Chain A
Amino acid sequence: MTSEDEAPVDIAVRIEFAHAALQHLADTYGIDLLHVKGIAFEPKWRSRAEGGSDADILVRPSQVRDFTRHLRRQGWTRRSSFRTGSASGHAETYWHDHLGYADVHRFFMGMGRDEGTFDALWSRRQITELAGVQCPVPDGVAQALIFAINEARNSPGLKQPERVGLSIDHQLAVQIEKLIPTVQAQVGWAAARGALDEVRAHREHDLWRTTRAPSGRLAEWRARVKAEPATLDKIVTVLRAPLVNTEHLANTRGHRPSPLEVAVEFVDRGRRAATEVWRTYRNGRGLG
């Protein structure tokens, strides 16, 4: 009998325990959550056969704050916040010294952000056993949809329709089409099929376009503002645009940045933004 310090423990084993630990916490405090992606999904709906590098969960939106409060008391340290973690603000990343990384999603990019979307997924949940613990997961149809959307988001260079088409047959596609309105996944599904033009009028269209074909920070920020459903959220997004992402800075530098490092980054960020504005202006006038 040896501890993990003396014997190697595969990352896949740690991730399985991470899922189980997160579920144990949810059961203890009456939180609804679904285990998504990686080893929680059927092998055919995994991006990588071994199941990825972290444990992903989708928490009922109204319980996210409560859950993350309990999580931090349980030895998990936040590495990125909803505000700084990604363009869509859908997830926070946590680290545990024994269990590794976990991504806590408050919604899934490409799906609705509301309680109704979670309810739609929750009402058709299945159970899978991870590290001996009963863990709720989306059903097979929802797994296929989440896989397709996730592939579209993470593989901008991939010829998406072909790859998704290999896995999703006609019958399953029909079932997915029925699910889509209940989880507001029209844009994500369009992106997965390589058909973003079909949803050009949707507020999330531009954000997906910048995800599929990166076109600079300014375009991304414009898309982020447009994608926000409420005016107040749009204003907050604009106000945050020039601020330095100190969590990202800490992660890339391996230490908490000093006030001087933050100030230097702030100035450099402004310089990069100005350069991008100038290039956009120059290209727009045909000077480039």
Chain B
Amino acid sequence: MTAWSRGDGWGVVDRPDGNVRGGCLYAAPLRSGEITVLVGASAVVARAALEGLDVTAVREAAAAGLGVAREDIDADVVDDLLDDLVRLGLLQPR
């Protein structure tokens, strides 16, 4: 089962509390400093993946973080987001 770690040379600032459920997670490659902002459900998924959870656990964490049933989490959407974060460089498969 795939799990991830933070990409080399990336920084992350996590603000889990805030107006939006799931909060914000900011990520940036430290060489360029260009900041990507993940809000709400995206932040919850990225946060769980950065903790080293596998894809099943990420989906469960997303459900818990958003206060919905696990069945209500669209697995394809989660997988697509994780793929995007890998392409971005924030996540690297372990």
Residues of A participating in the B interface, judged by any CB pair closer than 8 Å: 1-4, 6-7, 9, 13-14, 16-18, 20-21, 24-25, 74-75, 96-99, 130-133
Residue in A closest to B26 when the chains form the complex, CB atoms:
A13
B81 to chain A, nearest CB (A): 7
* Contact (Cβ within 8 A) A4 B37: yes
Q: Choose one: B9, B35, B81, B85; the contact of A24 (CB below 8 Å).
A: B9
List chain B residues, Cβ under 8 A from A9.
26, 35, 37
Within 8 A of A (CB), among B1-50: 6, 9-13, 15, 26, 28, 30-39, 42
* Contact (Cβ within 8 A) A13 B32: no
A96 and B33 CA atoms in complex are apart in Å by 8
List chain A residues, Cβ under 8 A from B28.
17, 21, 98, 131
* Contact (Cβ within 8 A) B35 A98: yes
A9 and B35 CA atoms in complex are apart in Å by 8
A217 and B20 CA atoms in complex are apart in Å by 52
* Contact (Cβ within 8 A) B33 A98: yes
* Contact (Cβ within 8 A) B15 A131: no
* Contact (Cβ within 8 A) B36 A132: no
Other CB < 8 Å A-B pairs besides A16-B13, A24-B31, A98-B33, 6 of them? Answer: A2-B37, A17-B13, A17-B26, A24-B9, A98-B34, A133-B11
A25 and B11 CA atoms in complex are apart in Å by 13
Q: Choose one: B10, B11, B15, B33; the contact of A75 (CB below 8 Å).
A: B33
* Contact (Cβ within 8 A) B35 A17: yes
* Contact (Cβ within 8 A) A1 B42: yes
A-B contacts, 15 of them at CB < 8 A, read: A4-B35, A7-B37, A9-B26, A13-B26, A16-B11, A17-B28, A20-B30, A21-B28, A24-B9, A24-B30, A98-B28, A130-B11, A131-B12, A131-B13, A131-B30
